[in-house]
Amino acid sequence: MNMAETELMNALRGRWLLDEPMARHVSWRAGGQAKRAYVPADLDDLALMLRGLPSDEPLMFVGLGSNLLVRDGGYGGTVVFTHGVLSRIALVDERAVHAAAGVASPKVARFAAMHDLVGAEFLAGIPGTVGGALAMNAGCYGGETWRIVRDVTTLARDGSLRVRKPSEYQVGYRHVSLAPEHALQQEWFVAATFELDAGSGTEARARIRDFLARRIATQPLGKPNAGSVFRNPPGDYAARLIEACGLKGRRIGGAQISDKHANFIVNLEGARAADIEALISLAQQTVMVKYGIGLECEVRVVGEPA
């Protein structure tokens, strides 16, 4: 680190954590350590931290860790924790809600309904944060995140902020990428404005309750999990394919393909990241052999094996 980078780092107001166990920060409650982690004081502090990092430093933003597996050997870069820090949510106008990246997606659904705005109810079924929902175009119950995005705010590696429109992105099913003509450097989502319709908050809250009841009835929420592990292939469902292969309930170590929903892998007790990853590979290989279909992961797997 050069002198300028050192001076920037000395001006920071957030907290550094060394060798931070990522099992504390991912919903699977499994995995290795991050070499360094940073809890920013606010967005300005985060921008300052990014400007001081070496340009080749691996960097990862983590909200609720509901779509992430860190291998047992750990992550050799810097992790930024956004949940509870980038937490502002507010009305922009009579049809729009602005939410920072660290806001839990269900909170956006409830906030919109409270202000008689409809169209965000599906977000109640997404267990992560706004940042994660934007990064993967998260969706459920017929809704998708980017269908309601008016604009996003991004933070670049050099600490600069930009407001971007959906037209600047290539958006698909569980996929989002900045169009090549706009991708000058690495950027992360730090906020979004969601454009919604005026409607009945009472009816919106009823839909939210219905979505949550359906989640409880169909998903293994009593054990640590990361939501749906695989994207649904065109015209089919990953859970159906996995179950049809006889893998529902299959266990490796402390991890299990859920016996309640086959597209979920749960941490029964003391699972290692390697156990979870082995079940991911088993499901992919078995479905490919039997059906010739390649299951694509929704979850992000990072780091090094133990």
User: How many angstroms separate the CA atoms of 248 and 270, rounded?
Assistant: 20
- Name the catalytic one among 110, 174, 250, 272: 174
User: How many angstroms separate the CA atoms of 132 and 194, rounded?
Assistant: 15
- Name the catalytic one among 66, 105, 228, 258: 228
User: How many angstroms separate the CA atoms of 43 and 211, rounded?
Assistant: 32
Question: What letters, b where the CB count within 10 A reaches 16 and e where it falls short, cover 115-144?
Answer: ebbbbbbbbbbbbbbbbbbbbbbbbbeebb
- The yes-or-no answer on residue 228 being catalytic is yes
Closest CA to 272 of 37, 74, 127, 75: 74
- The yes-or-no answer on residue 174 being catalytic is yes
Closest CA to 249 of 261, 241, 231, 236: 261
User: How many angstroms separate the CA atoms of 254 and 226, rounded?
Assistant: 15
Residues identified as active-site: 174, 228, 298
